[in-house]
Amino acid sequence: MKENYKVAIISDTHGLLREEIFDILKTCDYIIHAGDINTEDILKRLEEVSPVYVVRGNNDKGRWAEALPKDLHFNIGNIRFYMVHNKKDMHFEFKDIDIVVFGHSHKYFYETIGNLTYLNPGSCGKRRFNLPISLAIITIENNNYNIEKIEI
């Protein structure tokens, strides 16, 4: 079993997949998208690059989006994730979780409290509120991980 992974965490693309972002995604083993994809075409393009974990955002509408989960639990290697688009919709007791991923605000947020990390990668789609275009890269090695913020 592979023990080292490079994972891109993105959110709030809102129908725009910038080439600079896409070039970064191509170097990753997995892509995590915390919702507000807006179009099925973006999701299909991501799935052509790497396996994708995705949740439905408040702007994901239509038949294609109805199949997306509102929240998701998954592991990449030994790291346990929980993801939801809007942190206000979290309905989970966070035991046996290492990283909570969310989006919605378009604002990058990273904080570790005890053994639990909260991460919002910001938005890498259309610029809103004069916030930077950002994503996160997680490098996983065995039971450890490192989070890097990338601004475009």
pLDDT at residue 63 in the model: 94
pLDDT at residue 2 in the model: 63
What's the longest Cα–Cα distance across the chain? 43
Task: List the CATH number of the domain containing 9.
Answer: 3.60.21.10
For the chain, what is the mean pLDDT?
93
Average pLDDT for residues 68-75, to the nearest whole number?
Answer: 95
Average pLDDT for residues 14-32, to the nearest whole number?
Answer: 95
pLDDT at residue 92 in the model: 65
* Count of domains for the chain: 1
Q: How confident is the model at residue 3 (pLDDT cuts 50, 70, 90)?
A: confident
Q: How confident is the model at residue 1 (pLDDT cuts 50, 70, 90)?
A: low
Average pLDDT for residues 124-140, to the nearest whole number?
Answer: 90
Average pLDDT for residues 10-26, to the nearest whole number?
Answer: 94
Range of the domain at 112: 4-151
pTM comes to: 0.94
pLDDT at residue 99 in the model: 96
CB 59 within 8 A of CB 77: no
* Concatenated DSSP letters of the chain: ---EEEEEEE---TT---HHHHHHHTT-SEEEE-S----HHHHHHHHHHS-EEE---TT--SHHHHTS-SEEEEEETTEEEEEESSGGG-----TT-SEEE--SS-S-EEEEETTEEEEE--BSSS--TTPPBEEEEEEEETTEEEEEEEE-
Average pLDDT for residues 29-52, to the nearest whole number?
Answer: 96
